[in-house]
Structures are given as C-alpha cells and as structure tokens.
Amino acid sequence: MKLVKQPRGSRVCGQACVAMLADTDLKNGIKLVGHVGGTWGHHLAAALKRAYVPCADKLVRGEPDGDALLFFKYPSNRRHWVVWYDGKYYDPLEGIFRRVPKYLRRAQITSHLPFFLP
C-alpha cells in the first residue's frame, strides 16, 4: 500500500485513507468522499464502495481483528483516521509505523471500519 499524506493543518485524514485504499491520490480521495473536512464512518464506507473497495457498511466499536480504518479520539475530542493494514499503521499525517505513533498514544481507538483487500 502506498502512503497518501495529508497537508499539515488540514482535516482530510479520512480522504487520505480512502485514497490509500483506492490506490489513488488525495485529490481523487476527496472527490470519492465528496467533501473536504471532517468525515464519519458512513462517509468513508460510501467512498470506498464507490471505489470498489470491499468494506463493512458501518463502524464497529473497539479495536479490529484485521485490516481496518481506525478511528482515534483524543481526550480533547480531536479525531483522526489511520489505516491499519498488514500489521502496519499508515498514518496520513506522520507516515508508516509498526507501533502506534507517539503522538497517537494519548488517543484511543473508539471504532473501526473493516475493509477486505485481496
């Protein structure tokens, strides 16, 4: 999977995650989601289905058993999407990691959207 970065200070982490899974660029990820700014699970599920990426219809509470889009929530109520794929975190803000990046350790995975890549 190719990492798609979001611009610093932007709110397009969900769109960047869609772009990664759809194997496209951020511009097309935004187009698939249909807007710039904050996203929810149903936005991302619909965008992935438009890109023919098999995924669940809605978010599942808690941490995933397999590959998924992870929804992190900070105590400050800030939120962030990250792709968990093949044992790695693909974080559109910071890069690719085998462990949760330091800046996300204060956050909690509240839910996830499973996807199924071949």
Q: Name the residue range of residue 34's domain.
A: 13-114
In a domain, 7, yes or no: no
In a domain, 100, yes or no: yes
Task: Assess whether pLDDT exceeds 90 at residue 108.
Answer: yes
In a domain, 31, yes or no: yes
Which pTM does this prediction carry? Answer: 0.95
How much is the mean pLDDT over the chain? Answer: 95
Q: What is the 3-state secondary structure (H, E, C) of the chain?
A: CCCCCCCCCCCCHHHHHHHHHCCCCHHHHHHHHCCCCCCCHHHHHHHHHHCCCCECCCCEECCCCCCEEEEEECCCCCEEEEEEECCEEEECCCEEECCCCHHHCCCEEEEEEEECCC
The percentage of the chain sitting over the pLDDT mark of 70, rounded to a whole number, equals: 100
Task: Assess whether pLDDT exceeds 90 at residue 77.
Answer: no
Q: Taking residues 18-36, what's their average pLDDT?
A: 98
Task: Assess whether pLDDT exceeds 90 at residue 20.
Answer: yes
pLDDT the model gives residue 98:
95
Task: Assess whether pLDDT exceeds 90 at residue 103.
Answer: no
